[in-house]
């Protein structure tokens, strides 16, 4: 795995994470909450319209999560642009750690809340976001 490919994959990670932001944001408003309702339904199989998203607390949390996801995705994108060349291994480790911590807490909370199928979806998201970043790059950085 080359440094150039890992730097590219940081952008993939950023897109994977940030792609959930618009869905979460749209869920903060009743008129545009259908995409989030469908997502919640898919992540908590079977597809039956449950659980229902829409109370004020859920809408607030959707707005907050939309912002957090967009910010996290932007952070990874910026790390690929402005930090990776100076500290490739630190950038890689920080990215993987952030994704593993997200996976552990999100999956544990999903299971604890009775929505264990979301933990299964999280495996695919983790694999897509981390990709080749699991291992250090093999080539030396150019000087």
Nearest to 59 by CA among 88, 43, 86, 36: 36
User: What does the pLDDT read at residue 11?
Assistant: 98
Torsion over CA of 132, 133, 136 and 138, rounded to 10 degrees?
40
Q: Which two tokens stand for residue 84?
A: 């990776």
DSSP state of 96: H
- pLDDT confidence tier of residue 35, bands split at 50, 70 and 90: very high
pLDDT digits (tens, 9 = 90+) for 49-67: 877 778 899 999 999 999 9
User: What does the pLDDT read at residue 84?
Assistant: 97
DSSP state of 19: T
Domain borders along the chain are 3-134
pLDDT digits (tens, 9 = 90+) for 86-110: 999 999 999 999 999 999 999 999 9
CA distance 52 to 92: 38
CA terminus-to-terminus distance, the chain: 18
Show Cβ contacts of residue 60 under 8 Å, excluding neighbours closer than 6 positions: 28
Residue that has been written with the tokens 């490919």 in this structure:
5
pLDDT digits (tens, 9 = 90+) for 105-131: 999 999 999 989 999 999 999 999 999
* 3-class DSSP assignment, residue 20: coil
**Is-cis flag, bond preceding 2, omega within 30?**
no
């Amino acid at each position: 795995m080359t440094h150039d490919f890992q730097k590219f994959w940081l952008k993939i990670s950023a897109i994977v994470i940030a792609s959930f932001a618009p869905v979460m944001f749209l869920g903060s408003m009743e008129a545009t909450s259908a995409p989030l309702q469908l997502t919640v339904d898919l992540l908590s199989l079977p597809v039956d319209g449950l659980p229902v998203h829409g109370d004020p607390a859920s809408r607030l949390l959707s707005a907050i999560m939309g912002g957090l996801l967009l910010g996290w995705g932007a952070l990874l994108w910026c790390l690929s642009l402005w930090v990776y060349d100076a500290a490739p291994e630190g950038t890689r480790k920080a990215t993987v750690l952030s994704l593993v911590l997200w996976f552990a807490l999100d999956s544990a909370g999903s299971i604890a809340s009775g929505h264990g199928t979301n933990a299964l979806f999280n495996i695919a998201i983790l694999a897509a976001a981390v990709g080749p970043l699991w291992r250090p790059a093999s080539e030396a950085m150019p000087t």
